[in-house]
Amino acid sequence: MKEEQSKEKVKKFGMVIDLDKCTGCGACMVACMAENNVPFKEDESKKLDSITWLRIYKLTNGKSFPDADICYLPRPCQHCGGKGDHGHSPCVSVCPATATDYNKETGIVSQIYTRCFGCRYCMAACPYHARYFNWWDPVWPDGMEKYLSPNVSVRMRGVVEKCSFCFHRYQLAMDKAYYEGRREIEETEYQTACTQSCPANAIAFGDLNNSGHAVYELKKDKNAFRLLERLQTNPKVYYLSSREWVRRAGDNYLKDEKK
C-alpha cells in the first residue's frame, strides 16, 4: 500500500506529439519563445547559433513525385531519464557544476542559469541538439522588455539554456493548488505553452504515469516512438505517426536491418 502511494506521487511529465497532425505552422515555436523570454538576434539567418528551445525539423522521405512525402517534427528538450530511467540524463550526468538537474518528483530536466558557467559539456552530450548557448547578451527591441514574462528569468551571455517544459507553469499551478488546500493538480492546470498554442491539437502534455491523463494512453499507441531510443537516453517526448518511414527516421539502423 505504501509502495503504491509513493508510486502515485512520482510524476513523469511528458509529451506525445502526433506528427500526422502537425502542419509545421510554427505556432508552438513562437509561443515557446514568447512564454520563456527566449532571446533572438537581429539577423537570424545563421541558424547554428540561434536559440530555439522548440525547433521544428522538416523531414522528407527522399522520394520524388508522386511518392514524395514530408513530415514536420517539433523537437523540444526530450527530458531524458537516462539509462534505466534513473535520472542520469546525458546532460545531467556530465555537468561539472550541477547546473542542470533531474527533478525526481516531475521527471523534468532543469537548467540553473545562475550556476551554469558555460563549459558547454551538456551541449556536447545531448544528441538532440536541444541545448543552446547564449553567445550574445539578450537585446530586446525598444519597448519589448515590457512584454517579457515576469515568471521566467532572462538569461545572460555565456550560459546554456533549454526547454523547461514551462516549469514555471507547474510551479504556479502547484502554488494555486496548495493555496486551495489541494496536494495535486488537474491535467488542465499545467500545460506547456506549445501544447496550448498548437492549432492542430498535435501536442498532448501531461503526466505519463497518471492513467487519468491523455498522454498515458497515447504513448502506448502502436505508432508511438521516441527519438534515438537505441541510445538508451529514455526521452519523455513520444511521437506518433502512421507512416513507417517517419517512425524509422526516429532512430539509426544498420543497412538492411529490420526494425
Residues that bind other proteins (CB under 8 A): 46, 48-50, 57, 59, 73, 83, 88, 90, 93-99, 115-121, 123-129, 131-137, 156-160, 227-228, 230-233, 249-255, 257
Q: How far apart are CA 213 and CA 236, in angstroms?
A: 14
> Which of 54, 185 has the CB closer to other proteins?
54
Name the CA dihedral angle for 19, 43, 30, 159, rounded to a multiple of 10 degrees: 90
| Least CB distance to other proteins at residue 68 (A) | 15
| Least CB distance to other proteins at residue 217 (A) | 27
Edge-to-edge strand ranges of the sheet holding 13-18 = 203-207, 13-18, 237-240, 224-225
Beta pairing, strands 132-133 & 160-161: antiparallel
> Which of 140, 196 has the CB closer to other proteins?
140
**Residue 252 corresponds to which cell in the numbers above?**
539509426
> Which of 50, 196 has the CB closer to other proteins?
50
> Which of 153, 232 has the CB closer to other proteins?
232
| Least CB distance to other proteins at residue 256 (A) | 11
Q: Are 208 and 38 in contact (CB under 8 A)?
A: no
| Least CB distance to other proteins at residue 31 (A) | 21
| Least CB distance to other proteins at residue 231 (A) | 6
| Least CB distance to other proteins at residue 161 (A) | 11
Q: Which of 211, 218, 177 is nearest to 195 (CA)?
A: 218
> Which of 7, 46 has the CB closer to other proteins?
46
Q: How far apart are CA 130 and CA 122, in angstroms?
A: 10
Q: How far apart are CA 74 and CA 71, in angstroms?
A: 10
| Least CB distance to other proteins at residue 255 (A) | 7
**Residue 86 corresponds to which cell in the numbers above?**
534513473
> Which of 11, 162 has the CB closer to other proteins?
162
Q: Which of 129, 135, 96 is nearest to 112 (CA)?
A: 96
> Which of 26, 158 has the CB closer to other proteins?
158
Q: Which of 73, 80, 132, 83 is nearest to 101 (CA)?
A: 80
Burial string for 106-124 (b: 16+ CB within 10 Å, else e) reads bbbbbbeeeebeeeeebbe
Q: Which of 80, 102, 123 is nearest to 231 (CA)?
A: 80
